Amino acid sequence: MTLPPDLVALPKAEVHVHLEGTVRPATLEELCARVGIDPPPAFHDLASFVESFSCAWAAMITPGDYARLVREYCEDAARAGVRYAELELTTTGRPYDCLAEAVEAAARQPDIVIRFIAGTVRNLPLELAWMMLDATRGVPEVVGIGLGGPEEGFPPEPFRNLFAEAHRRGLHAAPHAGEDAGSASVRRALDALAADRIQHGIRAIEDPALVAELVRRRIPLAVCPTSNLRLGCVASLDHHPLRALWDAGALVSVNTDDPGFFGCDLAGEYAIAGRLLGLDRGGYARLARNSVESSFAPETVKVDLRSAIAEWARKG
Ligand SMILES: [Zn+2]
């Protein structure tokens, strides 16, 4: 794909990316060989992807592995112009040390500010999610709580108290919804989990009243076009709801989700959005600003990014 000139230089925030899903193929091969497991199977939809992701997750076992994932993500993301990222860690069932090492590695990265989302999974036991939440206590770099995994058959309501407690502890709520399940799933994530941001949320488009509410309340949708295509959530990029959501005035950003698995990077997602939305330079700058406003970044980071984006826009 040919990128518009200097799209890489456009300062961007990434607000929907899973640390384990950023693993470089060569690193994953090495980690699997070390623990003597086969490389993850191929995937074609969300269910097979969850299986593939779980296999990869099983190979990432030491705190050092988590530090390495952070380092390699930061190198790759910096090359795509990412200046701030919220990395979702699927720490459920992992020792606290993995989170601690990841946080420490992130603090050493010179070109990118990293915060973390403590991720839990719909189809895993709830008590693991509570353990995960407790592991984040006293770690200021963790700014939010996430919820991933299959939506169909795994509703959000059992996680209501967990998310309420996370809110009481000052964490933001960024559950996945409206990826492979319809608009009702987004509605339930808003009602049961008091979502501050929706990861994906593309199927909100099926319910105009819901879209109007998302617009009015400025609830961000962290959209991942290549991921949606690779997992069959959209038939083709030309059928992607990004355009309709953007035209409705929703606070949409584009993100990579699991770039190691999908072979994408953030500059490439901007190029896709540019084609789907017909963006000029000002449009790209608006998309990047959306990513900043969608984030849970410290206000000082937001201020710096807004002015860096404005400077980029002026250069055109
Ligand atoms: Zn995701």
Neighbouring residues of the ion ligand 1, judged by CB less than 5 Å? 257
Residue 302 within any structural domain of the chain: yes
Q: How far is the CA of 18 from the centre of ligand 1 (A)?
A: 6
- Give the count of alpha carbons within 13 A of 133, CB side only: 24
Q: What is the mean pLDDT of each run of 10 residues along the chain (316 residues)?
A: 77 97 97 94 93 92 95 97 96 77 95 95 91 90 96 96 98 97 98 98 98 98 98 96 98 98 97 96 97 98 98 91
Residue 91: what pLDDT?
A: 67
Q: How far is the CA of 315 from the centre of ligand 1 (A)?
A: 33
Q: Where are the beta strands (DSSP E) in the chain?
A: 12-18, 82-89, 113-121, 142-148, 172-177, 198-200, 221-223, 252-254
Active-site residue (options: 86, 88, 151, 179): 179
Residue 88 within any structural domain of the chain: yes
Residue 4: what pLDDT?
A: 66
Residue 90: what pLDDT?
A: 86
Question: What residues make up the domain containing 212?
Answer: 12-314
Residue 6 within any structural domain of the chain: no
Q: CATH no. for residue 198?
A: 3.20.20.140
Question: What CA–CA distances, in Å, run from 221 to 225, 286, 287?
Answer: 12, 15, 12
Residue 61 within any structural domain of the chain: yes
Residue 7 within any structural domain of the chain: no
**Domains identified in the chain, total number:** 1
Look up 75 and say whether it is catalytic: no
Coil, strand or helix: which one is 220? coil
Residue 51 within any structural domain of the chain: yes
Residue 2 within any structural domain of the chain: no
Residue 97: what pLDDT?
A: 87
Nearest to 99 by CA among 128, 130, 67, 71: 67
Beta bridge partners of 119: 146
Coil, strand or helix: which one is 294? coil
CA angle 50, 20, 3 (to 5 degrees): 95
Q: How far is the CA of 316 from the centre of ligand 1 (A)?
A: 33
* Burial state string for 223-257 with b = 16 or more CB within 10 A and e = fewer than 16: bbbbbbbbbebbeeeeebbbbebbebebbbbbbbb
- For 89-115, write each residue's pLDDT tens digit: 986 667 678 899 999 999 999 989 999
Burial zone of 283 (CB within 10 Å; 0-12 exposed, 13-18 middle, 19+ buried)? middle
**pTM confidence score:** 0.97
Q: How far is the CA of 88 from the centre of ligand 1 (A)?
A: 8
Q: How far is the CA of 134 from the centre of ligand 1 (A)?
A: 22
Q: How far is the CA of 213 from the centre of ligand 1 (A)?
A: 23
